[in-house]
Amino acid sequence: MFFRHIAVPMILSCTMMFAGCAKMTAIEPMETSSLRKIDDIIANGIENKVFPGAVVVVGQPNKLLWAKAYGHTTYKPDAPPMTLDSMFDMASISKVMGTTSAALVLMDEGRLSPDDSVSKFIPGFDSNGKEGDTIRDLMTHVSGLKAYESKWAELEKTRPAGESKPDLLIEHYAALPASYPPRSKVIYSCLNFQTTARVTENIMHEPMEQFLKEHVFGPLNMRDTVYTLSPDQVQRAVPTLGDADGNVTLVAKIHDPLANYHGIEDGHCPGNAGLFSSGRDVARFCEMVANGGSLGGKRIFSTKILDQATTTQTPESVDDERGLGWDVYETPPWVTGLNKTPETLIIGHTGYTGTLMMIDKNTRTYLVLLTNRVFPDDKSKGEGKPTITTVRRAVADTVWRSQPVYAQWFREQDEKNATRATGN
């Protein structure tokens, strides 16, 4: 019953589908046999209430391999079906598609360098143990800033008349003491990317959303990637919160509390979250990255800057590998044993609301998995039940197994696992 809302499929090339269409149509996979397991994985996730619905897109430059919508936007029997044009709160994927993209464009233009001091753009940041912090430190999460700030209610009480919430937060982050010695370890931090967003805006002298429309989203025909939704996009937005009866309580508004408090005020975007997008648009963005920074004859990022962003930029002494904004995956099932060099890495990012995008630089294959797993809440579904992590891993494993270059590696791993299981 979970697949009755998948539209009648049709065959199109990836370029044909994404280049000229405002809406994304369900696509018959060009290579189906090795990817059909995705149907069962997503059906199991819906049945176990990991999420009420999902969108999955898999492809390579100029070649779409899989594109389907599953389930509904909520668990209500009469809830609208999930579609390939559903608008999702991208949560932390905003860090990559939004903030990182703005920073990379500025780097290409020579207006920003990863080695620039943060205090060059944020007055007062060079204090309390953060004196040597650079843009690279922010974008690789080694800056010393703590992971999150939940005390905006207390901060709000001290906000001077006339000062915006974004300004209040940035001044607060600049004055914070380092929570650990910078560059000694990775502490994934939303504060890092709210600060990075402000750095880019101080350079651009225009709202980040407008800058991204001009330099990234517009050229890629990503019409559904926005911080501010139109009435039509609000109608297509997927709910993220509900009450005890499953009624929608939050939709088309930022789910992340800190980004929600920051808001979009005086043209400032939150940076850590707040971007909304669709499967069509996220796939288009991933296709561009998989294609080396350009698509449809339009170059978005230079090869040099994109290579830097999608390879390890953390200090050698730090175990967790991260690029500029991008996560660099290190272990199976996220990667195979053949994804170890800068040219063959698997990169991507997740979002708390249940979003995922991954790109295998080796085969130039991308995976987009969008869900609203936080609806009606983000509580555990119970011991032994599937989780968003197990679903993500299973889908990623299926996609990489579909690539012929990895067939021998997977055969050898499966044989080793079988031997361990039997004790022979």
Dump the DSSP string for 300-334. Answer: -S-HHHHHHHTS--S-TT-SS-B-SSSEE--STTT
% pLDDT > 90, the chain = 86
Which regions of 192-243 does DSSP assign to beta strands (E)?
Answer: 241-242
CA pair distance 188, 180, nearest whole angstrom:
12
CA pair distance 135, 296, nearest whole angstrom:
31
DSSP string, 125-188: -S-TT-TT-BHHHHHTT-SS--S----HHHHHHHPPTT--HHHHHHHHHHHSPPSS-TTSS---
At residue 290, the pLDDT reads 98
pLDDT in tens, 301-360: 999 999 999 999 999 999 999 999 999 999 888 999 999 999 999 999 999 999 999 999
The stretch 385-394 carries a mean pLDDT of 96
CA pair distance 17, 24, nearest whole angstrom:
7
Exposed / middle / buried, residue 50 (Cβ in 10 Å: 0-12, 13-18, 19+): buried
Structure tokens given for 235: 């109608």
| Residue 21 pLDDT exceeds 50 | no
CA pair distance 353, 370, nearest whole angstrom:
9
| Residue 188 pLDDT exceeds 50 | yes
At residue 286, the pLDDT reads 98
Please report which confidence band the pLDDT of residue 419 belongs to, taking 50, 70 and 90 as the band edges.
confident
At residue 383, the pLDDT reads 78
CA pair distance 384, 31, nearest whole angstrom:
33
At residue 6, the pLDDT reads 37
Q: How many separate helices (H) and strands (E) can be counted in the chain?
A: 15, 12
At residue 341, the pLDDT reads 96
| Residue 19 pLDDT exceeds 60 | no
| Residue 262 pLDDT exceeds 90 | yes
% pLDDT > 70, the chain = 92
Question: Which residues lie closer than 8 Å to 104 by C-beta, 6 or more apart?
Answer: 301, 305, 306, 309, 324
At residue 4, the pLDDT reads 31
The stretch 264-273 carries a mean pLDDT of 94
Domains and CATH numbers, the chain: 14-93+104-111+207-391 (3.40.710.10)
Does residue 69 sit in helix, strand or coil? strand
| Residue 28 pLDDT exceeds 60 | no
Poorest-pLDDT segment among 14-18, 259-263, 350-354: 14-18
The stretch 28-43 carries a mean pLDDT of 80
Under a CB-based contact definition with an 8 Å cutoff, are residues 392 and 369 in contact?
yes
Exposed / middle / buried, residue 343 (Cβ in 10 Å: 0-12, 13-18, 19+): exposed
| Residue 423 pLDDT exceeds 90 | no
Strands 276-277 and 53-60: unpaired
CA pair distance 169, 347, nearest whole angstrom:
30
CA pair distance 272, 356, nearest whole angstrom:
15
CA pair distance 70, 387, nearest whole angstrom:
17
Edge-first strand order for the sheet with 53-60 is: 63-71, 53-60, 365-371, 355-360, 346-351, 327-328
At residue 381, the pLDDT reads 74
- CA-closest candidate to residue 258, choices 145, 370, 180, 128: 145
Q: What is the sign, positive or negative, of the torsion defined by CA atoms of 285, 84, 349, 146?
A: positive
Please report which confidence band the pLDDT of residue 14 belongs to, taking 50, 70 and 90 as the band edges.
very low
CA pair distance 108, 183, nearest whole angstrom:
25
| Residue 191 pLDDT exceeds 50 | yes
| Residue 299 pLDDT exceeds 90 | yes
| Residue 421 pLDDT exceeds 90 | no
| Residue 401 pLDDT exceeds 60 | yes
Mean pLDDT of the chain: 92
At residue 10, the pLDDT reads 30
Poorest-pLDDT segment among 30-44, 51-65, 117-131, 171-185: 30-44
Structure tokens given for 264: 């979009």
- Tell which wins on pLDDT, 2 or 242: 242
Structure tokens given for 182: 């910078």
| Residue 288 pLDDT exceeds 60 | yes
Under a CB-based contact definition with an 8 Å cutoff, are residues 250 and 101 in contact?
no
The stretch 67-87 carries a mean pLDDT of 97
At residue 424, the pLDDT reads 63
Give me the residue label for tokens 């059909």. Answer: 36
- Tell which wins on pLDDT, 417 or 238: 238
Structure tokens given for 14: 């990836």
Poorest-pLDDT segment among 30-39, 172-181, 197-206, 304-313: 30-39
